[in-house]
Amino acid sequence: MPQALGATAVVASSAVPERPHAIDTSGALDPVDAAGQSLTAESTKLAKDVNAALVEVERKAAAERAARAERERKKWVLPLSSYRVSAGFGAVGRLWASRHTGLDLSTSYGSSVRAMSSGEIIFAGWDGPYGNKIVVQHWDGTETWYCHLSRYVLRSGEVAPGTEIGSVGSTGNSTGPHLHLEVHPSGGDAVNPRSWFAERDLYF
């Protein structure tokens, strides 16, 4: 029988809606990961460079400190803060058996006598006409003699430039308070202190 007009035709559809596929974003993260790795590598390199620079700065500073300390150790200073030269090297007179082998520096009794550079006290005691004497052997082998002392502040040990070692007196063959200073390069014969120290920019 013919289908009545107006009847609803039911059409069965076999099409089933597809579930949306998940979007693969792993590829999109690769540039971010790469950037992160690059930043990490750059940060590591920067840290190493900064550390190397700091190490170099400290190395240079340590070298400068060592050089400054070495200069300080080897500098020469005057043995008295104030004085008057009362007798020069090579002078002759009744006070000396032959000629004067040092430099006489007159000053007030008890004035501080200081080591002229770094070294070691190798003698401290009575020495006839020299009276109370201290001998310092310095870093270059030179010996300096400090004579006619009234007292010893140090009798042994290491000294630095300017270390107080004794006091001015008038012991031994002396007519008044003064320091008799002698210089013996390499422990040999005495030389003129004025000319020897002038070569080292130290003047009496």
pLDDT in tens, 84-100: 999 999 877 666 567 88
Kindly report, residue by residue over 102-135, the tens digit of the pLDDT: 999 999 999 999 999 999 999 999 999 999 999 9
- Is 26 a member of any domain? no
Do both 132 and 58 map to the same domain? no
93 in the same domain as 62: no
Per the confidence metrics, is the pTM higher than 0.75?
no
Instruction: Tell me, yes or no, whether 119 lies in a domain.
Output: yes
Q: Are residues 116 and 53 in the same domain?
A: no
Same domain for 136 and 108? yes
Candidate from 19-28, 41-50, 181-190 with smallest mean pLDDT: 19-28
Q: Is 90 found in the same domain as 187?
A: yes
pLDDT the model gives residue 8: 43
128-133 long-range contacts, CB within 8 A, separation 24+: 128/172, 128/173, 129/172, 129/173, 130/172, 130/173, 130/180, 131/169, 131/170, 131/171, 131/172, 131/173, 131/174, 132/166, 132/169, 132/171, 132/172, 133/172
Q: Which residue has the higher pLDDT, 87 or 149?
A: 149
Q: Are residues 153 and 171 in the same domain?
A: yes
Inside any domain, residue 114: yes
In the predicted structure, residue 101 carries a pLDDT above the cut 50: yes
pLDDT, residue 163, reads 98
- Res. 155 pLDDT band, cuts 50 70 90: very high
Q: What is residue 69's predicted lDDT score, i.e. its pLDDT? A: 78
Give the range of the structural domain holding residue 67, as residue numbers without chain letter: 33-74
Same domain, yes or no: 193 and 154? yes
Overall number of domains in the chain:
2
